[in-house]
Amino acid sequence: MGIFDKIKHAIFGEAVAAPVAASVTPAPSATAAAPNVAAAATPQPTSAASSSQAAAIDIVPLLDAAVKKSGQKLDWRHSIVDLMKAVGMDASLVERRELATELGFKGDPHDTATMNMFLHKALMKRLAENGGKVPAELLD
């Protein structure tokens, strides 16, 4: 499991972070179903899967709650380090460099200020692509 997956899991929780494909169940067998065999062979999403696909998960209250639970003064909206700390992860330079590799950072990994800014924006974008409802101002 990569760093992004760990962050996603920490924010969304175990049930939501699981791949959507694992939530698909096959339709009843052709012998028990209507005569249309092609329709019976098509996998149908479960109600839990379809509801999780339909509604994005609002990250703001989840991360605000994580900050409150941490007991620290953390600014997850602007700092990748604070976001990682809020969800209980190691925010070390080694971890952030690994995340930078995962998210496609092409800059100088020794320029930590630039890398951290990239990481925050790229993480917000990736969370939005993976079912997170991210405020527009964090996606710019």
Q: What is the pLDDT of residues 33-47, one digit of tens each?
A: 444 444 444 434 444
Q: What is the pLDDT of residues 51-60, one digit of tens each?
A: 445 578 999 9
Number of domains in the chain: 1
Asked if residue 47 belongs to a domain, the reply is: no
For residue 65, give its domain range. Answer: 3-17+56-138
- The pLDDT tens digits of the residues spanning 59-105 come to 999 999 999 999 999 999 999 999 999 999 999 999 999 999 999 99
46 domain-assigned: no
Is there a domain that residue 75 lies in? yes
Longest dimension (CA), the chain: 64
β-bridge mates for residue 24, sequence order? 45
The H or E element spanning position 122 is: helix 112-129
Would the pLDDT of 23 be above 60? no
Mean pLDDT throughout 9-19? Answer: 70
